């Protein structure tokens, strides 16, 4: 069982928006602004999409955005495209000696 909780799957139609949640505790997600999100296509390495809750690397489309409320962080993808179909993982710094936590991953299906 992963320390951060994500839904196993989400789906949406092209052009729609979807949100993926990532729930932790006050020792990780809720206590620090060190949440990041990764996109992974089959057979490929993960790719950083969002860091520090809501910051986006310049190479990432502005259709991707991040936010946080309490112990839950969220990744929103607007204007869904077929190429967005992938697995998405959240990660957070934790003040425990584990240092880093990952979510179990969410499979996004573009219908």
Partner 1 sequence: QVQLQESGPGLVKPSQTLSLTCTVSGGSISSGSYSWTWIRQPAGKGLEWLGRIYTTGSINYNPSLKSRVTISVDASKNQFSLKLTSVTAADTAVYYCVRAGGNIVVLNWFDPWGQGILVTVSS
Which residues make up the interface to partner 1 (CB under 8 A)?
Answer: 2, 32, 34, 36, 38, 45-48, 51-52, 57, 89, 91, 93, 97-100, 102-105
Residue 35 vs 80, nearer CB to partner 1: 35
- 């998405």: which residue's tokens? 88
Residue 37 vs 80, nearer CB to partner 1: 37
- Cα–Cα distance measured from residue 32 to residue 94, given in angstroms and rounded to the nearest whole number: 8
Residue 76 Cβ vs partner 1, minimum distance, rounded to whole Å: 18
Residue 50 Cβ vs partner 1, minimum distance, rounded to whole Å: 9
> Can you spell out the DSSP letters for 29-79?
TTT-S-EEEEEE-TTS--EEEEBTTTB--TTS-TTEEEEEETTEEEEEE-S
Residue 64 vs 93, nearer CB to partner 1: 93
């Amino acid at each position: 069982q992963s320390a951060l909780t994500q839904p196993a799957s989400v789906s949406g139609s092209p052009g729609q928006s979807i949100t993926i949640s990532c729930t932790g505790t006050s020792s990780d997600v809720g206590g620090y602004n060190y949440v990041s999100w990764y996109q992974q296509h089959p057979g490929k390495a993960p790719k950083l999409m969002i860091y520090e809750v809501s910051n986006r690397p310049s190479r990432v489309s502005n259709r991707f955005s991040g936010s946080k409320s309490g112990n839950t962080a969220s990744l929103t993808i607007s204007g869904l495209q077929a190429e967005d179909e992938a697995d998405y993982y959240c990660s957070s710094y934790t003040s425990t000696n584990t240092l880093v936590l990952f979510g179990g991953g969410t499979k996004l299906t573009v219908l």
